[in-house]
Amino acid sequence: MLWEQFTQSVRPLTQRPAVPPPASRPARAGHAAPAASAMPAAPVRKAVPPVEPIERRQKQRLARGMVAIDARLDLHGRTQAQAHAELLRFLRRAQSDGARFVLVITGKGSLAGSDGSERGVLKRQVPLWLREPKLRGYVSAFEQAHIVHGGEGALYIRLRRQRRAD
């Protein structure tokens, strides 16, 4: 009963025509256009493209020494927190110095430590870190290094060109 009383008192909403946003609305004759909002528009930032693998030919040229490795970072013996902070500092510095390719040595690790602890953590974590938005601004591509540069325990990283401040 209560429901019937309620449904009888309900009326449909009237449809109103959609109103265009103020910037695109034409001014009416005899009326001045509305003043622009006092709030400045936020700068539009382009999304950083995803990190990709290094092309096969480029990797071959790196392995053969035909393309220079501009800087190296060895993360052996660091904790995850230390390694992450050092990697970020290294990539910033290398990019600002104009480096194009860098080598990051993570170490190969092993399956498990004798005390049951997990090993090879940096080998697994560094590739994940390189895909984070915080580091993608520095890294355009990365790939496991050739055996002459450390193989499974190292990564070639191609850096993005530094954006100029306009």
Question: Is domain 56-159 annotated with CATH 2.30.29.30?
Answer: no
- Read off the pLDDT of residues 75-129 as tens digits, 9 standing for 90 and up: 988 899 999 999 999 999 999 999 999 999 998 876 555 555 567 889 999 999 9
Handedness of CA 96, 97, 99, 104 (dihedral sign): negative
What separation in angstroms does the CA of 60 have from each of 4, 9, 70, 101?
78, 77, 16, 13
pTM: 0.64
Contact 94, 68 (CB under 8 A): no
Handedness of CA 136, 127, 145, 153 (dihedral sign): positive
Contact 59, 156 (CB under 8 A): yes
